């Protein structure tokens, strides 16, 4: 398969990072404004992080569902305009403490009580639109809504700590909880109805501006999720429904203990036996959500790292071959004409290179990984290929200003010489990194909004293997101004993006 992403540039900005008066970004007016600004800036791509409902730790890569949407992103002003809420319902709440940071604790405490008022005021039940939504999404929605209702019923503990009968989805228990939790189950379905209604309108508007949305999906799902509870046989679980082995990555230069992510591993043989039905459903659903799908940790499809569940770190794991091209074939059939980006960062393995070449998917290069002094570093620009996507940094990296401000002068010597930056200005260095990427052969160039705005370390989205301060950064109202827009538009014009 030849290169198939249109030459262009884009911005990585998660929905949560948009401005809004309610403490977190939503599908409201600021999202539409941002799409318009991207269009004015000559951008062709808007990349978001996974849109699923976040669990403990607030990571969009650890969600209660691979299919559901995050209720935090439902726009409150839109609900007010629809008559589902009164302004008084929300004006009595202090939503914002730090304008540029999300307070997830505050979100959890207040947001659902407000959304429940909207649910109680809604006349959605019985409408043609709602019934169509229920039928279209039945394969995952019924399980997700019941899972969330049960989770609330059991004081939000993981499904593995629920009563044994519902934990194991005994038919009589399923019938019992569907009955006693009927209203709460309906509430969770309503939230998904409003989420997808608002998202689809935003996506349609963005597409009309000739901007494609790149969505990100993690390869693994969370143990505490509707996906695992409803499909335990598709994962490597023991008779007590605990993971036998979990996902992660081995020790490397960044971590002597590796990373133990804790996600349950797929039972690929069972998945292959039913022709990857669950994966087909997941990818078909993602293809309806996004124009382009970025698969995080694509390597895990080819060769995955398996850590015995009893170990607390990732030192004693082993690599096991995954389904490779068999799964790629199923994915291609499920997504139709939608496009895939493979996140192929990390361990370089011949098997992954071979599958990536056969699939035709563009891989990734990251500028922050490039200038370590090694002239053979594969992230250096003279190794970039046309069919690739170049990032300044990803959600797991520091911002460019934050990253390079921590380097000593001698460490910056190579990159300054490469870019011909003759002074100590980090602003100029970042400007030249943008120019370097935009002028390159790579089909697509993506920079985080934090790097467009030249935000320092406070704007870092995630520091892997840490909790409590991640996924919080927000852009303030009017921060993305005409100066930044004109700079991006100029680069797009000069370098045919």
State percent of the chain over pLDDT 90.
92
Q: Give the CATH H-level superfamily of domain 8-494.
A: Glycosidases (3.20.20.80)
User: pLDDT tens-digit profile of 340-381?
Assistant: 999 998 777 888 889 999 999 999 999 999 999 999 999 999
Nearest to 220 by CA among 389, 338, 343: 343
Which has the minimum average pLDDT: 179-193, 286-300, 453-467? 453-467
**Strand ordering across the sheet containing 212-218:** 339-342, 292-296, 212-218, 45-47, 8-12, 444-448, 388-391, 363-366
pLDDT given at position 1 = 40
- In the beta sheet, which residues pair with residue 266? 235
Q: Which of 364, 250, 205, 200 lies closest to 296 in space, CA to CA? A: 364
Write down the domain spans for the chain.
8-494
pLDDT value of position 422: 87
Task: Answer yes or no: are the C-beta atoms of 450 and 473 closer than 8 Å.
Answer: yes
Q: Provide CB contacts within 8 A for 196, sequence distance 6+.
A: 69, 133, 137
For the cut 60, the answer to whether the pLDDT of residue 225 exceeds it is yes
Task: Please compute the mean of the pLDDT values over residues 264-285 and round it to a whole number.
Answer: 97
Edge-to-edge order in the sheet of strand 245-249: 259-264, 245-249, 303-308, 318-321
- Window from 1-10, 22-31, 55-64, 289-298 with minimum mean pLDDT: 1-10
* Model confidence pLDDT, tens digit, residues 127-166: 999 999 999 999 999 999 999 999 999 999 999 999 999 9
Contacts for 282 with CB less than 8 Å, ≥ 6 apart:
66, 67, 217
Tokens of 119: 């649910």
State CA 265 to chain mean position distance: 19
Most distant pair of Cα atoms in the chain: their distance: 73
Of 181, 116, 192, 124, nearest to 153 by C-alpha is: 181
Terminal alpha carbon distance of the chain: 22
Q: How many CB atoms lie within 10 A of CB 312?
A: 9
**Can you give the length of the chain in residues?**
497
Q: How high does pLDDT run on average in the chain?
A: 95
Q: What's the chain's Rg over C-alpha atoms?
A: 23
pLDDT of residue 349: 84
Q: What is the dihedral of CA 120, 122, 125, 128, to 10 degrees?
A: -170
Nearest-angstrom CA–CA distance, 112 and 89: 12
366: which 2 tokens?
């990251």
Residue 423 confidence class, pLDDT cut points 50, 70, 90: confident
Instruction: Measure the CA angle with vertex 42, ends 39 and 44; round to 5°.
Output: 75
pLDDT tens across 324-342, in order? 999 999 999 999 999 999 9
pLDDT at residue 273, rounded to an integer: 97
Q: What is the pLDDT of residue 346?
A: 73
Mean pLDDT calculated for residue range 52-58: 92
Contact 115, 121 (CB under 8 A): no
**CA neighbours within 13 Å on the CB side: how many for 447?**
26
Report how far residue 344's alpha carbon sits from residue 391's, in angstroms, rounded to the nearest whole number: 13
CB-neighbour burial class of residue 494 (10 A; exposed 0-12, middle 13-18, buried 19+) = exposed
Q: Which of 399, 397, 446 is nearest to 254 (CA)?
A: 397
pLDDT at 2 over 60: no
Sequence-ordered strand ranges (E) for 4-99: 8-12, 45-47
- Strand ranges for 292-387 from DSSP E: 292-296, 303-308, 318-321, 339-342, 363-366
- CB atoms near residue 361 (< 10 Å): 27
Supply the DSSP symbol for 266.
B
Q: Classify 260 as helix, strand or coil.
A: strand
* DSSP letter (8 states) at residue 305: E
At how many degrees (to 10) do helices 104-121 and 182-208 cross? 100
| 58, 470 Cβ separation under 8 angstroms | yes
- Catalytic residue ranges: 296, 343, 396
Are 80 and 26 in contact by the 8 Å Cβ rule? The answer is no
DSSP 243: B
pLDDT score at 46: 98
Q: What is the mean pLDDT of residues 64-91?
A: 97
Q: Is the pLDDT of residue 39 over 70?
A: yes
Q: For residues 400-424, give the mean pLDDT.
A: 94
At residue 127, φ and ψ (nearest 5 deg) are: -75, 155
What is the crossing angle of helices 409-419 and 426-438, to 10°? Answer: 40
DSSP code, position 366? E
What pLDDT does 468 receive? 82
Reading the block at residue 284, the tokens are 């078909």
- Interval 48-63 mean pLDDT: 94
| pLDDT above 80: residue 431 | yes
Contact, 330 vs 281, CB < 8 A? no
> How confident is the model over 173-221, as pLDDT tens digits?
999 999 999 999 999 999 999 999 999 999 999 999 999 999 999 999 9
- Give the per-residue pLDDT at 179: 98
Q: What residues form DSSP beta bridges with 292?
A: 214, 339
Using CA atoms, how far apart are residues 108 and 114, in angstroms rounded to an integer?
11
């Amino acid at each position: 398969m030849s290169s198939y992403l249109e030459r262009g540039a884009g911005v990585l900005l998660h929905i949560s990072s948009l401005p809004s008066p309610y403490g977190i970004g939503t599908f409201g007016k600021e999202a539409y404004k941002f799409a318009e600004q991207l269009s004015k800036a000559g951008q062709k791509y808007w990349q978001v992080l996974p849109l699923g409902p976040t669990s403990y730790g607030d990571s969009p890569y650890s969600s209660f569902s691979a299919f559901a949407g995050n209720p935090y992103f439902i726009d409150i002003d839109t609900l007010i305009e629809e008559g589902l809420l009164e302004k008084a319902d929300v004006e009595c709440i202090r939503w914002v403490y730090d304008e540029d940071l999300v307070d997830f604790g505050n979100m959890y405490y207040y947001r659902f009580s407000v959304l429940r008022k909207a649910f109680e005021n809604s006349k959605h039940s019985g409408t043609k639109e709602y019934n169509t939504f229920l039928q279209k999404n039945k394969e995952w929605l019924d399980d997700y809504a019941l899972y969330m209702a049960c989770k609330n019923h059991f004081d939000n503990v993981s499904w593995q700590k629920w009563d044994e009968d519902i934990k194991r989805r005994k038919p009589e228990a399923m019938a019992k909880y569907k009955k006693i939790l009927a209203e709460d189950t309906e509430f969770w379905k309503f939230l998904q109805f409003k989420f997808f209604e608002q998202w689809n309108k935003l996506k349609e508007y963005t597409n009309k501006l000739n901007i494609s949305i790149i969505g990100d999906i993690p390869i693994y799902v969370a143990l505490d999720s509707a996906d695992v509870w409803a499909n335990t046989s598709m994962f490597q679980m023991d008779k007590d429904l605990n993971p036998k082995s979990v996902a992660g990555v081995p020790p490397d230069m960044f971590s002597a203990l590796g990373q133990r992510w804790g996600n349950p591993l797929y039972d690929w043989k069972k998945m292959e036996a039913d022709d990857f039905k669950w994966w087909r459903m997941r990818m078909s659903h993602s293809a309806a959500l996004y124009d382009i799908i970025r698969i995080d940790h694509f390597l895990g499809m080819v060769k995955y790292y398996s850590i015995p569940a009893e170990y607390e770190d990732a030192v004693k794991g082993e690599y096991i071959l995954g389904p490779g091209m068999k799964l790629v074939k199923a994915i291609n059939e499920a997504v139709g004409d939608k496009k895939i980006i493979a996140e192929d960062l990390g361990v370089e393995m011949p098997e992954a290179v071979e599958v990536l070449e056969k699939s035709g998917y563009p891989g990734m290069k990251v500028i922050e990984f490039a200038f370590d002094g090694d002239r053979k570093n594969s992230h250096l620009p003279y190794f970039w290929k046309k069919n690739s996507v170049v990032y300044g940094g990803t959600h797991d990296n520091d911002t460019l200003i934050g990253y390079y401000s921590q380097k000593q002068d001698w460490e910056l010597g190579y990159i300054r010489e490469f870019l011909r930056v003759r002074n100590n200005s980090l602003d100029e260095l970042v400007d030249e990194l943008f120019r370097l990427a935009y002028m390159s052969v790579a089909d697509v160039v993506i920079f985080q909004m934090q790097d467009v705005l030249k935000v320092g370390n406070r704007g870092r989205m995630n520091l892997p293997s840490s909790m409590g301060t991640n996924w919080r950064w927000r852009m303030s109202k009017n921060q993305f101004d005409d100066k930044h827009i004109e700079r991006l538009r100029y680069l797009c014009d000069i370098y045919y993006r």
